[in-house]
C-alpha cells in the first residue's frame, strides 16, 4: 500500500510540491466533491489514506464511511458515479477538492447536491 509522507511544519507545508495530506487524529481528511462543469458543490465526505490513494489511481471517487467503518466507491450501489477529473488540496493539505463528472444525483436522497437547504435562524428552507 502506498503511504503518503507526513505533513511538513509551518509554511513549508503550504509551499511544498509534494502531496503530504494532513489527516486528522482519526486518520481522515474532508473531501468536497464539486461538479467539474458547473462548479456546483455536490457533497462533503471523508477520506482516509487508502480512499485518497484509490481515488488518485482509479479516478473514481472513493470515500471512507465513518458510520460503517469501510471504504465506499461513489455510485457502486446506486450507479450515481463520480468520475474524477482533478484532485486539489488546500494550502495546508487538510482538505481535498474533487472536481467530478457526476452521473445521477450526488446526494443519497437522489438530489443533484447534498446542499439543498438554506439555513435561517430557527428554520431550514428547501431550495427544490
Q: Which residues pair with 9 in a beta bridge?
A: none
Contacts by residues 86-89 (CB-CB < 8 Å, ≥ 24 positions apart)? 86/36, 87/55, 87/56, 89/19, 89/21
Q: Which residue has the higher pLDDT, 3 or 81?
A: 81
What's the predicted TM-score (pTM) here? 0.92
The model's pLDDT over 48-106, given as tens digits with 9 standing for 90+, comes to: 999 999 999 999 999 999 999 999 999 998 999 999 999 999 999 999 999 999 999 99
Amino acid at each position: 500500500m502506498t503511504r503518503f509522507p507526513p505533513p511538513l511544519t509551518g509554511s513549508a507545508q503550504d509551499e511544498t510540491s509534494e502531496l503530504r495530506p494532513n489527516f486528522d487524529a482519526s486518520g481522515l481528511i474532508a473531501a468536497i466533491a464539486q461538479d467539474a462543469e458547473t462548479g456546483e458543490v455536490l457533497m462533503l465526505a471523508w477520506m482516509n489514506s487508502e480512499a485518497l490513494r484509490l481515488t488518485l489511481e482509479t479516478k473514481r471517487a472513493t470515500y471512507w464511511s465513518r458510520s460503517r467503518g469501510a471504504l465506499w466507491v461513489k455510485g457502486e450501489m446506486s450507479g450515481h458515479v463520480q468520475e474524477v477529473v482533478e484532485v486539489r488540496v488546500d494550502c495546508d493539505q487538510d482538505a481535498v477538492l474533487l472536481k467530478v463528472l457526476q452521473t445521477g444525483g450526488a446526494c443519497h436522497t437522489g438530489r443533484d447536491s447534498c446542499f439543498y437547504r438554506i439555513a435561517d435562524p430557527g428554520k431550514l428552507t428547501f431550495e427544490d
